[in-house]
Structure 1
């Protein structure tokens, strides 16, 4: 099957969160199964830099057998201010080859690329799926612009999609709230390639690289450094552990790309008096990323809003316990006391108490990590996810032909 993925950012653009990584893992598995996968994306590496330099309108690369077309963004300023990725040369390129694909899979809801590609797809009767990946809610400072997009393009995109994919039952409800019929929605979670976790780096590699003593326990945050991710809540909880509960043997590691909140996070660490034991590593990839999980004692995800985060699956694949905020997306993933702990959003004292409990009970921490790992292996492996996705692809293509 010839499959087209459309997404505004794709590896190595990991600064934009888990979406690029999840789309890549899906595409790579589809290629392994004999499908031809092409990705239309943009040249944004992050909000301030491009993957490629020069005047080329697009660059074609093959990554793990995936054909990737990186279209040049008109300006990174629109990316920073409006999260708008404008690629003027996409239309002419897509007009030439979209008709050759069997099916199109759109990743993300509100994008310039979705508008262009679906217009051409309808012209040539090529079916498409839409997977919003947590982008349906109109949140943040751009909510008015999001509403205007929905009126002009969004509702039409959803109406004319052959199927839409939700990561969770909560996201399925979000689709329904804006008019998508339940029978049109398929729930397919993110998945992890377990082969990437079969041979983990040796313990101590991460500690040595970042100068963390062996007698210090590590609390790990992995993800974008953005206000919505609740890093301030984690820093306050960490400060409470040190300043009020008397802990001296723990280090907080904040690993991830700056998404507009790094300066504030560092200032908070200073003002709470814990900056000397908070390590901001920047983004971690490959062996460094895996070694951070291996050497950590607890992963914390204190988000104010979350869909279906890959980092929890990654931590579980490494056998690590997880504490996360009690948001709707995370409540579907974590069973309280069974494979992790949940705390009330914004409640840093409750988070500190849960951290204290696991730091003092290594048996319970190990039990949570083992149960999380079993859950990933039984339910969230990429094999199982792609089995579901392939069935939908074949059903949609068959229905379109008939």
Structure 2
């Protein structure tokens, strides 16, 4: 199958798609004929060494029809993300032409995400994006919860295929005995990541956290300039010994941070499919996850941690359950590793191929 991937990635180290999209394409390229057109002059330097990677510098027309054969008429186009197609000529080609395509919005179509810059998105949806979504052969959501939170209003045809991970060679074997070290890794974006909810939750059970010698280290880049306001919130609630802040961690440093921790915390209001969380599971970390993480159902089903609604009181209850059940942490850890195996990139690529064939066959039968 000849698959054309379209993206607009600038290679920002704090953006999840910087890691998930290239890895998805890399794995798919082992079983399909792939052309990755990153319609941006930016991007990570290492991408240029990939045989299937091409960017705006090589093909400045930003047109599918200017790409080499057979990708000027691919079997299918996979559009990574949604609103980054606003100024793209390719979006117009896809809508007007007879080029089959699917869209992977990565959380951008959920009700929660639509609340951010609501007026701007509403206008863009009316004039450009509803037609773009409806003309797609399908919308590919990363989790069932992302589909539920997005609904059929964009397109009644959908598939669910998750992000993947490379299963690490090492995992947790020992946990703390006289303390509990929690970690949260992600961008410092208080609203989406629910960091304000997490701090408020800690203030509700401050004494219990002190008694359990429990700390929560928040790691991430200060993308929106909100770190100081979060630190102020922590100081006002006298949580400086409980809620700690750390710079962004990547690669081996992130691996060390995970292996040195006991529990991974994700209090997000909304996500697509958080790679940080499934990576934590793969290292054997039990998790505390909100509904907004889009992982609540499987966390509960596989008993890999504790879950909560997207509010401070519910997150506080989940933290208390974690403290009270910490003696069973190794059981949760084993379950976490088992769950993470479902997200192997090799399995994801095989499922992607099967679903794409199914979509195209259904289209031919019309």
In structure 1, the residue matched to 2:132 is: 157
* Preserved CA contact (<8 Å) 2:210 2:242: no
Q: In 1, distance between residues paired with 2:32 and 2:64?
A: 23
- Match for residue 381 of structure 1? 344
Deviation of the 1:198 alpha carbon: 1.8
Cα 1:13–1:39 change in 2 (3 A) is: farther
- Give the alignment partner of residue 147 of structure 2, picking from 172, 175, 179: 172
1:389 CA displacement = 0.8
Which shows bigger deviation, 296-305 or 35-44? 35-44
C-alpha distance in 2 between matches for 1:180 and 1:346: 30
Residue 131 (structure 1) shift? 1.4
- Using the alignment, how far apart are the partners of 2:56 and 2:215 within structure 1? 39
Once the two structures are superposed, the pairs formed by residues 3-402 of structure 1 within 5 Å of their partners are 3-9=3-9, 12-16=11-15, 18-33=16-31, 35-42=33-40, 61-63=48-50, 65-69=51-55, 91-92=61-62, 94-97=64-67, 99-112=72-85, 115-121=88-94, 125-136=98-109, 137=111, 139-173=114-148, 176-178=151-153, 180-181=155-156, 184-194=157-167, 197-199=168-170, 216-226=179-189, 227-243=191-207, 246-247=210-211, 249-260=213-224, 261-275=226-240, 278-327=243-292, 329-335=294-300, 338-348=303-313, 350-359=314-323, 361-377=325-341, 379-396=342-359
Q: Distance in 1 between matches of 2:150 and 2:159?
A: 11
Q: Deviations over 1:195-219 (max 9, x none)?
A: xx12459989xxxxxxxx9965321
Mapped partners of 1:318, 1:370: distance in 2: 10
Residue 104 of structure 1 aligns to a residue whose secondary structure is: strand
Distance 1:104 1:266, change over 3 A: same
Q: Are the equivalent residues in 1 in contact too, given 2:202–2:209 (CA < 8 A)?
A: no
Count of residue pairs brought into register by the alignment: 358
Q: Which runs of 4+ in 1 moved over 6 A?
A: 201-204, 399-402
Task: Compute the displacement of 1:129 (Å).
Answer: 0.9
Q: CA deviation at 1:127?
A: 1.7
Equivalent pair of 1:238/1:252 in contact (CA under 8 Å): no
In 2, Cα distance between the equivalents of 1:389 and 1:67?
19
- SS in structure 2 of the partner of residue 186 of structure 1: strand
Equivalent residues of 2:215, 2:241 under 8 A apart: no
Q: Are 1:325 and 1:343, in contact at CA under 8 Å, matched by a contact in 2?
A: yes
Of stretches 34-43 and 218-227 in structure 1, the one that deviates more from structure 2 is 34-43
Measured at CA, do residues 333 and 294 of structure 1 come closer, stay the same or move farther in structure 2, by a change above 3 Å? same
RMSD of aligned Cα (Å): 3.4
Residue aligned with 1:189, SS: coil
Mapped to 2, the partners of 1:109 and 1:271 lie a distance apart of: 39
Structure 1: state its 5+ residue gaps: 46-50, 53-58, 73-88, 205-212
Q: What is the TM-score with the length of structure 2 in the denominator? A: 0.83
